[in-house]
Structure 1
């Protein structure tokens, strides 16, 4: 009997030593910018799946089985909100059958943590693809990203109390580096202040507001409405007479409309990364901002 007890004790000890460590929090990030921010805040304490890439229009994502699988295993979903993902995220959550991220602590919407720009006073589909919660492309504003980072670190600690101190340590490090980077970016981008730009879609307001650029035209006649030949023709004089710095488009957007206008005005068509992964340089949030400013300064010269 004593021998049996000893064997059982040894077996229990062995199981204790071979038992897996505290399981990582599994997070589904709707967009690359939030995947990058999660990596900054969580490091090796998180398992992060990113649902989209910089080469996709996140307004229109297909709810594929691979995405449903990612959502099904998530403890937390981190998304932009402000109805940016309204066409696909609810469907993913519903088909995944994962109640943890349907609402409450398991659902983190970045837009809920900040004040958005261009929030409409009234909704009218005749005005195009207007978001009721305001313009959702605030990943282009470093100050808002900082506010979101603080709220996200707190949420991670709420869901994973065992690593709450680690998330706060990572946040403190991020704040130090991010707060040092912002004035450097602003000083570097100073020559851009007051310059005019034409944009493909109304997705640049946070960047242009931050850097003091002026949007004098949009290739889309209304938000979300594809450029037409007639509308592009009206922009030729506007672009020329406004001495536009560039015609700006995101990495995922069709280059043809901007190229058409560039050929007729001599104003360069400029592809900006728009989010992490949008070009070879934009490997994280810091290099994403570096690349954006460098490319704008490149055409300014």
Structure 2
């Protein structure tokens, strides 16, 4: 029979073991908060933006400064996406671990090659990122590379949790590859599809699926759609082949609606990143949702044209 004294001693011994301290993470965008949570679910994560905010333009609020000041790691996109607010936030937070070139600052865009880099950029080109298109979280092939790099960084910062982080990474990779196979199957039905867009938010996923961009409602990247440009688009022969217009949730859909009223093209307002609730609470859910929306859009357009 086990004595009560032994049980009490064992219990006290277990409770005296050092607990793994949860990291404090500052995520610039929801997609990186989601990916971090997969790898380290016990982390205390602050997210600076939401699916209903343009990540190019937010205010360095006192609450964000406070969160950055106490964070162990900041996970951001980089490629100049946050250049309008992140440097100021880092400067005001004065966290010596979260600085350019330090392990405490992780840029997802630095882990993979980007689409459309530019050797020369000036203001006449609009809001163009010299490093390339920063919306890399919608690239099914890039995400596993980013996840691996992020796992390595988390393991460096919290070596006592490295084994668990890498185990969760492997589990996520299996799920991701299964989902990617499903997306590839649906992509077969999207061959030859074209859509109109407003900005390059969805470019990585569209290119991966083989969907072409017929027209852009922005006259230049980052510039709001103007009446003159919309009238130019209205005369574009590519309208006849487009299946619809896709707009991110944070964007003003009125230009797309204006064009839709004159052309009959359907408009889809889609999430550009994960949300706290609803059908896109993870990156897998987000891409599955977007692929399904494009699939339904293609089928609806084909049905109308067949009639």
Calculate the TM-score normalised by the size of structure 2.
Answer: 0.89
**Number of matched residues?**
288
Provide the secondary structure at the position in 1 that maps to 2:235: helix
127 and 134 in structure 1: CA distance in 2 versus 1, 3 angstrom threshold = same
What's the offset of the Cα at 1:19? 8.6
> Which runs of 5 or more structure 1 residues have no equivalent in the other structure?
1-13
- In 2, the alpha carbon distance for the partners of 1:149 and 1:35 equals 12
Q: Which residue of structure 2 lines up, in the alignment, with residue 264 of structure 1?
A: 262
Partner of 1:166: 164
- What is the CA-CA distance between 1:284 and the residue it aligns to? 0.9
Distance 1:60 1:285, change over 3 A: same
* Matching residue of 1:32: 30
Q: Counterparts of 2:297 and 2:69 in 1: how far apart (Å)?
A: 44
CA RMSD of aligned residues (A): 1.9
| Residue number in structure 2 paired with 1:23 | 21
**Are residues 1:151 and 2:124 paired?**
no
The answer to which of 133-142 and 14-23 deviates more is: 14-23
In structure 2, stretches of 5+ residues that fail to align are 1-11, 300-307
Residue 192 of structure 1 deviates from its aligned partner by 1.5
Per-residue CA deviation, residues 22-76 of structure 1 (Å, 9 max, x unaligned), is 32111111001101101111122x2211111000000001111111111111000
Aligned mates of 1:162, 1:19 — CA distance in 2? 13
CA contact (8 A) 1:32 1:277 kept: yes
Q: 1:53 aligns with which of 50, 57, 65?
A: 50
Alignment of 1:64-143 (within 5 A): 64-103=61-100, 104-143=102-141
Task: Sort the Cα spacing of 1:214 and 1:278 in 2 relative to 1 into closer, same or farther, 3 A.
Answer: farther
Q: CA deviation at 1:279?
A: 7.8
> Please, which of 211, 230, 237 is the counterpart of residue 213 of structure 1?
211
Which whole-Å CA distance do the structure 2 matches of 1:92 and 1:18 have between them?
A: 39
Match of residue 223 from structure 2: 225
Q: Is the alpha carbon distance of 1:53 and 1:134 closer, same or farther for their aligned partners in structure 2, counting shifts above 3 Å?
A: same
Distance of aligned partners of 1:126 and 1:186 in 2 relative to their CA distance in 1, 3 Å threshold? same
- Cα-to-partner distance string for 1:1-25 (whole Å, 9 max, x where unaligned): xxxxxxxxxxxxx899579723211
Shift of 1:278: 8.7
Instruction: Give the Cα–Cα distance (whole angstroms) in 1 for the partners of residues 206 and 66 of structure 2.
Output: 37
Superposition deviation, residue 190 in structure 1: 2.1
After superposition, the Cα gap between the structure-2 partners of 1:239 and 1:253, relative to the gap in structure 1 and judged at 3 Å, is farther
Distance 1:43 1:116 in 2: 28
Deviations 1:93-126 (A, max 9, x none): 1111111111311010001100000101211210
Q: Runs of at least 4 residues of structure 1 off by over 6 A?
A: none
Kept after mapping to 2: 8 A contact 1:27/1:78: yes
Paired residues of 1:193 and 1:213 also in contact (CA < 8 A): yes
Structure 2 residue aligned with 1:285, among 280, 283, 306?
Answer: 283
The question of whether the paired residues in 2 share the 8 Å contact of 1:272 and 1:278 is answered with no
In the alignment, what sits opposite 1:9?
A: none
Q: Secondary structure at the match of 1:87?
A: coil
Deviations, residues 196-215 of structure 1 (Å, cap 9, x unaligned): 11111122221111010111
Matches within 5 A, 1:3-18: 17=15
Contact 1:77 1:107 (8 Å CA) reproduced = yes
Q: Distance in 2 between the 1:235 and 1:74 partners?
A: 46
Aligned partners of 1:69 and 1:228: how far apart in 2? 39
Q: State the TM-score, normalizing by the size of structure 1.
A: 0.91
